[in-house]
């Protein structure tokens, strides 16, 4: 509730309405604001916590950040054999090593609630360093990501990022939808240090993946 823009009394809403000054914000609000600013820089602005209308909205980070904190808590208390689903994004605990729990299905471009929805691809993360899978697009939540419309670059209908942690996966999936091909080019430049891979679907249905993604595809029997 602290970060909700749907509640006028929330801390984030009060910061946007100037009824609360940033020096008076809570430590956790400051922590999140620092993180979203860092990610904006890391993604060259393709992930941006400020909407085109000027509204500060950290929700693009908060879900994955909260889920990551929950996973860290579980692991710190000796639990490693778990899977975590955060609004469709998935994190595998460090002791999840073999299938079927190490397999993650990627949705196609239709909502999972649709009668004709199906699985697009299945990834097998066993034997890989990757623990997190995040997908962004409009099939589940509609058009909820503001895109860089001033960029003369092809855009994507859907983007999935596989990474070692959930925040990295989720932020970059959002950035790829926002920035399209230019964001993918930046991701490919950074992926060696990010330790992440991605797959995107273009407006014409073409699927493009970065180096290493194909090795994660599960062998279907």
SS3 state at 136: strand
pLDDT at residue number 17: 97
Q: 29 lies in a domain?
A: no
> Splitting the chain (221 residues) into consecutive groups of 10 residues, what average pLDDT does each group show?
92 97 97 98 95 93 96 97 94 90 83 65 93 82 55 84 96 95 94 87 91 89 58
Separation between Cα atoms, residue 38 and residue 33, nearest integer Å: 9
* pLDDT at residue 60, rounded to an integer: 92
Cα 7 from Cα 198, distance rounded (Å): 34
Quick check: is 72 in a domain? Answer: yes
Instruction: Please indicate, yes or no, if residue 206 is contained in any of the structural domains.
Output: yes
Which pLDDT score is estimated for 214? 93
Q: What pLDDT score does 97 carry?
A: 83
109 in any annotated domain: yes
Asked if the structure places residue 106 within a domain, the reply is: yes
- Report the pLDDT value the prediction gives residue 100, as an integer from 0 to 100: 86
pLDDT of 142: 45
3-class DSSP assignment, residue 106: strand
Helix, strand, coil shares of the chain, percent, nearest 5, are 35, 20, 45
Helices (H) and strands (E) in the chain, counts: 4, 8
Per-residue model confidence (pLDDT) at position 160: 96
Is residue 156 a part of any domain in this protein?
yes
- Residue 69 resides in a domain: yes
Residue 112 pLDDT:
64
> Which residues have CB under 8 Å from 159's CB, separation 6+?
135, 136, 137, 172, 173, 176, 177, 198, 199, 200, 201
How much is the pLDDT for 221? 58
**Number of domains present in the structure of the chain:** 1
In a domain, 32, yes or no: no
Domain extent at residue 188: 57-216
Which CATH number does the domain housing residue 99 bear? 3.10.520.10
* 143 upstream amide cis, omega within 30 of 0: no
pLDDT at 94: 94
């Amino acid at each position: 509730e602290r970060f909700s823009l749907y509640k006028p009394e929330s801390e984030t809403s009060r910061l946007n309405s100037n009824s609360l000054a940033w020096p008076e914000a809570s430590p956790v609000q400051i922590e999140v604001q620092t993180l979203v600013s860092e990610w904006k820089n890391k993604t060259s602005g393709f992930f941006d916590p400020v909407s085109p209308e000027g509204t500060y909205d950290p929700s693009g980070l908060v879900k994955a950040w909260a889920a990551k904190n929950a996973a860290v808590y579980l692991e710190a208390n000796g639990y490693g054999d778990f899977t975590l689903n955060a609004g469709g994004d998935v994190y595998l605990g460090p002791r999840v090593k073999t299938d079927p729990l190490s397999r993650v299905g990627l949705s196609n471009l239709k909502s999972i609630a649709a009668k004709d929805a199906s699985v697009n691809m299945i990834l097998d993360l066993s034997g890989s360093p990757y623990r997190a899978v995040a997908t962004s697009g409009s099939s589940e939540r509609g058009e909820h990501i503001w895109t860089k419309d001033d960029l003369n670059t092809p855009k994507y209908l859907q983007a999935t990022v596989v990474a070692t942690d959930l925040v990295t996966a989720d932020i970059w999936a959002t950035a790829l939808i926002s920035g399209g091909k230019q964001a993918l080019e930046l991701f490919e430049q950074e992926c060696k240090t990010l330790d992440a891979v991605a797959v995107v679907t273009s407006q014409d249905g073409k699927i493009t993946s970065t180096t290493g993604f194909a090795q994660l595809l599960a062998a279907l029997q």
